[in-house]
Amino acid sequence: MEQKTMAVVGTGVIGNGWIARFLANGHRVIAYDPAPQAEEKTRAMLTEIWPTLAQYGLHPQASINNLSFADQLSDAVASADLIQENVPEREDLKKDVIASIDSFAKPEAIIASSTSGYMPSVLQQACAHYPERVIVAHPFNPVYLIPLVEIAGGKQTSSKTLEKANQLYDQLNMKPLVMSGEIDGHIGDRLMEALWREALHIVNDGVATTEEVDKAIVYGPGLRWALMGPFLTLHLAGGNDGMKHMLEQFGPALKLPWTRLIAPELTDELKNKVIDGTSLQCGDISINDMEHRRDRFLMKLMQLLEEEGFWPSERVLAYERQS
Ligand code: NAD
C-alpha cells in the first residue's frame, strides 16, 4: 500500500477518530484546528487509544510520529491526497472552510466532509476551483473502529471522485457505502434520529427512564442489529413466508398513530431527565472508562461477526493486513 498524506481539518471527537484511523493504516497526517491546546488534546487521545489500535491491527508503517500539526489551513492541506473536514455542524462555517480548502489543495486531492446532515451539493456550492472533487464521507463514532462510512456525491461531484473515494476508504479497512443519491442526514443518521425522537418522547411522557429505554434496545433489537438491519430482521420475523407474511400481518400497523415523527420540544425538564438519567446509568464510571469498555466490546463483536462468516466474503477486522 502506498503511503498517503491525509489532512484532517477540525480535531474534535470525529477529527481525532479519523487521525487515529489514518495513522493506524500507515499514512501521514497533517492536522489543523485553531482551538488552543488542540494538538495536546489529540496527542493525549492517541496515547490513550494506541494500545486498542494495536490490538485491532496496526499497519507495519503505522506510527504516531507520522502526525504533524500545521498553524495554517493552507499548510495543512497543500500536499494532501485526502482532506477530511470535521468542523462544527454549521452550514456557513462548513461552506467557508471547504471553499478555502478548495483554493489551497492539489487539484487531484479529494475533499471529504464528515457532516452528519448536509448534502454535498450544498457544501460544494462555494468552491471556485474544483467542486467535482467534493464529497460527503460520513463516519460513525468511534471512527477508528466502526467500519461504515457513507459516501455521497453532490450535483457537481464527478463519478471518478466517487470511485477513487470508494477505493481509498476501502483501503482504510472501512465499509464504504456509496449512496446513489443525496439526502439530508444520509442513511444511518436518519434511522438513528427516528429512534432518538421516539426515545425522547417516551422519556418526556414519563413512560420509561433513559436506562429502561436503553435496556429495551440492548437486550432486544440491538442484539439482532449487530448482524442484520431492519429488513432482514423482519424477513425472519415472518415465519417461512418471510417478508411477505410479515407485511400482510404487520403492514396495517404502520398506519397506527403510535409512531411520532415530530420531535418533542427540548424543554429544560426533558433535558434534565435525559442528562440526569444518563449520568445515573454511568454511576462512578467515567466517560473515558466507558469508551474503553465500548471499544473492547466492539472489537469482540466484530471478531464474532467475522468468525461466524454470516456474510461471506466480508471482512470487518483489520487483522492480517497486507502492506
Ligand atoms: P467537535 O465539536 O468535537 O469538533 C469540532 C472541531 O472543529 C473543534 O475541535 C473545533 O476547534 C474545530 N474547529 C472549529 N472551527 C474550525 C475551523 N475554522 N477550522 C478548523 N477547525 C475548526 O465536533 P464533532 O462531533 O467532532 O463533529 C465534527 C463533524 O463531524 C460535524 O460535521 C458532525 O456532524 C460530524 N459527525 C459527528 C459525529 C459524532 O458522533 N460526534 C459522527 C459523525 C459525523
Q: How far is the CA of 196 from the centre of ligand 1 (A)?
A: 21
SS3 95: helix
Smallest CA separation from ligand 1 atom 40, residue? 141
Radius of gyration of the chain (CA): 21
Provide the pLDDT confidence category of residue 321 given band limits of 50, 70 and 90. Answer: low
Q: Which residue has the higher pLDDT, 235 or 13?
A: 13
Range list of β-strands (E), the chain: 5-9, 28-32, 67-69, 82-85, 110-113, 134-138, 148-153, 175-178
pLDDT at residue 1 is higher than 80: no
**% of the chain residues with pLDDT over 90:** 77
Quote the pLDDT of residue 319. Answer: 55
Given pLDDT bands bounded at 50, 70 and 90, which one contains residue 322? very low
Q: Which of 8, 14, 59, 31 has the alpha carbon at shortest distance from 172?
A: 59
Q: Which residue has the higher pLDDT, 182 or 258?
A: 182
Q: How confident is the model at residue 136 (pLDDT cuts 50, 70, 90)?
A: very high
Give the ligand 1 atom nearest the CA of 16.
Answer: 26
Distance 112 CA to ligand 1 centre (A): 13
Cα(300) to centroid(ligand 1), Å: 28
AA identity, residue 145: L
Cα separation values, 263 from 83, 197, 259, 317, Å: 34, 5, 11, 37
What's the pLDDT score for residue 261?
Answer: 76
Tell me how far the alpha carbon of residue 14 lies from the centroid of ligand 1, in angstroms.
Answer: 6
**Atom 36, ligand 1: which residue's CA is nearest?**
116
CB 93 within 8 A of CB 9: no
Examine the pLDDT at 27 and tell me if it is beyond 70: yes
Distance 227 CA to ligand 1 centre (A): 29
Q: What is the arithmetic mean of pLDDT over 6-20? A: 98
Q: What is the pLDDT at residue 256?
A: 76
Cell numbers describing residue 72: 495554517
Would you report the helix, strand and coil content of the chain in percent, each value rounded to 5?
50, 10, 40
Whether residue 258 is predicted with pLDDT greater than 80 in this model: the reply is: no
Distance in Å, CA 26 to ligand 1 centroid: 23
- Interval between CA 277 and ligand 1 midpoint (Å): 26
pLDDT, tens digit, for every residue of 209-222? 999 999 999 999 99
Q: Report the atom number in ligand 1 closest to the C-alpha of 9.
A: 20
| pLDDT > 50? residue 244 | yes
Q: How far apart are the first and last CA of the chain?
A: 5
Pocket test for ligand 1, best of 33, 118, 140 (most atoms within 8 A of CB): 33
Domains belonging to the chain, first-starting first, are 5-178 (3.40.50.720), 188-283 (1.10.1040.10)
pLDDT at residue 323 in the model:
44
Rounded to an integer, the average pLDDT of 269-285 is 92
Q: Do 177 and 148 form a contact (C-beta atoms < 8 A)?
A: yes
Q: What is the mean pLDDT of the chain?
A: 93
Give the residue-averaged pLDDT of 274-300.
91
The residue whose CA has the least distance to atom 9 of ligand 1 is 12
Q: How much distance in Å is there from the Cα of 94 to the middle of ligand 1?
A: 10
Out of 9, 11, 14, mutate this one to test ligand 1's pocket (max ligand atoms within 8 Å of CB): namely 14
Average pLDDT in the 281-292 region? 90
pLDDT for res 121: 98
Q: What is the pTM of this model?
A: 0.93
Cis peptide before 142 (omega within 30 of 0): yes
Cα 99 to middle of ligand 1, angstroms: 17
Residues with Cβ within 6 A of ligand 1? 9-15, 32-35, 38, 86-89, 97, 114-116, 138-139, 141
Q: Whose CA is nearest to atom 16 of ligand 1?
A: 87
φ/ψ region of 277 (left if φ > 0, alpha if ψ in -120 to 50, else beta) reads alpha
Q: Return the closest-CA partner of residue 32 out of 63, 65, 99, 78.
A: 78
Give the pLDDT mean for 138-166.
97
How many other CB atoms are there within 10 angstroms of residue 195's CB atom? 12
Most confidently modeled range among 147-151, 245-249, 292-296, 303-307 = 147-151
Q: Whose CA is nearest to atom 11 of ligand 1?
A: 35
Task: Take atom 4 of ligand 1 and give the residue whose Cα is closest.
Answer: 12
Q: How many CB atoms lie within 10 A of CB 204?
A: 16
Contact predicate 55/176, CB 8 Å: no
Quote the distance between the C-alpha of residue 128 and its chain's center: 28
